[in-house]
Every structure is written in structure tokens, then in C-alpha cells.
Amino acid sequence: MELALIKAFLPTAIAFTVGIAMTPAITHYLYKYKMWKKKPGKGVGYGGGGTPIFDQLHKEKDTNTPRMGGVVIWLSVLATITLFYITEYLWPNSFLGSLNFLSREQTWLPLFALLVGAAVGFADDLLVVLGTGKHFAGGLPLWQRILAVFATALFSGWWFYAKLGVSSISVFDFTQLQLGWWFIPFFVFVALCIYMSSVIDGLDGLSGGVFLFIYAAYTGIAFYQAQYDIAALCATVTGGILAFLWFNIPPARFYMTETGIMAITMMLTVIAFMTDVLGDGKGVSVLPIIASLLFITVAANTIQILSKKIFHKKVFRVAPLHHHFEAIGWPAYKVTMRYWILGFVSAVLGMIVVIAL
């Protein structure tokens, strides 16, 4: 048990230390080459209209704070995984060698999703800050990013179904819902919902804090289910997010943006399903509880878009929801801190449900 605890939670400290150590060099590069948007605001919202309220709230931040801060998260994860892999290669029969958590059974697939998200998001961020012309200045079109999420989720869902023999999801401890081949489109649907929640990356420290508690919760869930490699991977992401947050708390030194948010949202879907039937657990059932703020964000956006399309009237001053709170007068730091509190409570409730039901 002592070895399992060390294996599952030591990566948090390692990833955090690595992230803190590499950030000065990353920050120097981002500021030296002015890796920020050249024009403030969004211009066009998800509903197709303008975003005047958002543009007014953020007109002074977008053009002097670098994007691509999310590289701190996934580089910390990759560096930590590589470190533990090397220790096993050099000292296979030692205590250090037993800490490696890169395994085909548990961590290859979520790591694959993380890397795809990081790469596609990195390309989008580069185009935002360096692209010119109507086809490149705004980054990758939303449909292309969604296509990348769709394709990765389709492959992952197929892998679960065809290679791992998973065709059902748990409904807490009450039953298992047999989906058959519908498991694959359900997997894709969950992945798209989680990715659409990436709009929560909009205030200093907000998305980092929310995902910190989500991944910390899944660290505990995976450990409780004796999926120690998954627990270690989630703990590593938690450490990388902590390092990112060190520099992202107000005033942010950089923003996470697509290279970070795509990586951790795409990986989260795989983690939820890995800790479900495969781990004799309920990782999918508790996802709406642990990640409640993500689902609320998606729901609020959907309500806003539908209301504008059907009734030609807005429900919220501005969407996503955290910007609505800004628009009605809450300071950005107050929105962030309250989201952190709610994120912590949601994570704790989710872990309690895993144990109790």
C-alpha cells in the first residue's frame, strides 16, 4: 500500500517542480515573440453574432498577455512520464523502477488523447498569434477543432468497444446500461460535450482551478479502484495544472488557451471511461457531479444560443456564464474564487458518491 501511495501521488510533486522550473524559459519565449492576439475580443460568438460586452470587458487583456500557457501543463506531464520511464529502464528491479506508470493497459489511450489535443490546440494558438489572411488570422476554424475531437473520440470509443470489450456504462451501483455498438456514439457525445465546456477558459485562474479539482478527484477515484497507473497519470496532470496556476493567478502571466484546454478536456473523457466499467467503478456516472461546472457552462451556452435564435432575446447578459457574472458587476477574481469553491465541493461530492453508492 505504501508503494501504491507513493506511485500514485509522487508524480504531483514531480510535475509541479518540473513545471515551475521550465516556466521562466517558456515565459521568456512567449513575451519575446509577443505570442498574444493582435486584436482584442472575440469578434464573433458561438451564436454567430457579435460579442460587444465581452470585447469591452477584455479589451486591455487580450493584446498584452501571451497565449499558449497550457504548454506548461502537458510538457510537465510528458517530462514526468519520461523521467519515471527512464528510471524503470535504468533500474528495473529497484524501488525507483517500480514507480513507472506508463502502461498499455491504463495510460496509453488517455495520454494519446492528451497529445492530440495539445498538438491541435498548439496549431490553433500559433495561427491566432502569427496567422495572416482570412483563413489563418483567427486560428483553426471551430469546425476543424471539433473534427479533431470527434475523430479522436471515435477512435477511442472504438478502441474501448472493439479492443477492450466495453459496451456498457455503470449507473452508479444500481446497474450497468448495456449500449452495444451505441457505446461508440455515446463516447463521442460525451467527448464533444466536455470539449465544448472549454469556453470556461476565460478568466485568470478559472479553468486551471476547475480542472485541478476534477483531476484531483479522478486521482482519488482511480486509486480507490486500484487503478494505480491511471491515478498516477491524473496526479501528474494535477501537478502540471498547479505549476500553471502558480503563474496564471491574477494577474495572469499567460493564458492556457487551446493547447492546454484541448489537451485536458480530451483526456478527461478517456479517464472517465477508464474508471468506469473497466475499473469496476462509476467514473462516467459521477462525471456530471465532479465536472458540474463544465456541464453548467455548456448548458448556459446552449440556453443562450437557443433563446437568441428562437425568441431573439438573451437569457444572460453575456455567455459563457462566468462572463455574465462579470457583466453584472462581480470582479473577475471573485468569480474565479467562487468557481474554485464550487469545484472543490463538486469533486468531494463525486468521490463520496463513488465510495457510498
Helix axes 108-130, 142-158, angle to 10 degrees: 170
Ramachandran angles phi, psi of 122, nearest 5°: -65, -40
205: alpha, beta or left? (left if phi > 0; alpha if psi -120 to 50): left
CA dihedral 147, 150, 151, 156 (to 10 degrees): 160
> What are the residues whose beta carbons fall under 8 Å from the beta carbon of 242, sequence distance 6 or more?
12, 15, 16, 19, 212
Which of 115, 74, 126, 62 is CA-nearest to residue 255? 62
Provide the residue count of the chain.
357
Q: Can you give the pTM of this predicted structure?
A: 0.94
Task: State how far the Cα of 44 lies from the Cα of 41, in Å rounded to an integer.
Answer: 9
| Structural domain count of the chain | 1
Range list of H helices, 169-291 = 183-196, 206-224, 228-248, 257-274, 287-290
pLDDT of residue 97: 85
pLDDT of residue 329: 92
> What are the residues whose beta carbons fall under 8 Å from the beta carbon of 40, sequence distance 6 or more?
55, 58, 59, 60, 61, 62, 63
> What are the residues whose beta carbons fall under 8 Å from the beta carbon of 216, sequence distance 6 or more?
234, 235, 238, 347
Estimate to the nearest angstrom the gap between the alpha carbon of 54 and the chain centroid: 23
Per-residue pLDDT of the chain (357 residues; tens, 9 = 90+): 788 899 999 999 999 999 999 999 999 999 999 998 877 666 555 555 556 655 665 555 667 899 999 999 999 999 999 999 999 999 988 888 899 999 999 999 999 999 999 999 999 999 998 876 565 567 899 999 999 999 999 999 999 999 999 999 999 888 899 999 999 999 999 999 999 999 999 899 999 999 999 999 999 999 999 999 999 999 999 999 999 999 999 889 999 999 999 999 999 999 999 999 999 999 999 999 999 999 999 999 999 999 999 988 999 999 899 999 999 999 999 999 999 999 999 999 999 999 988
pLDDT of residue 23: 96
CB 19 within 8 A of CB 244: yes
Q: Whole domain around residue 308: which residue ranges?
A: 2-356
Neighbours of 185 (CB within 10 A): 13
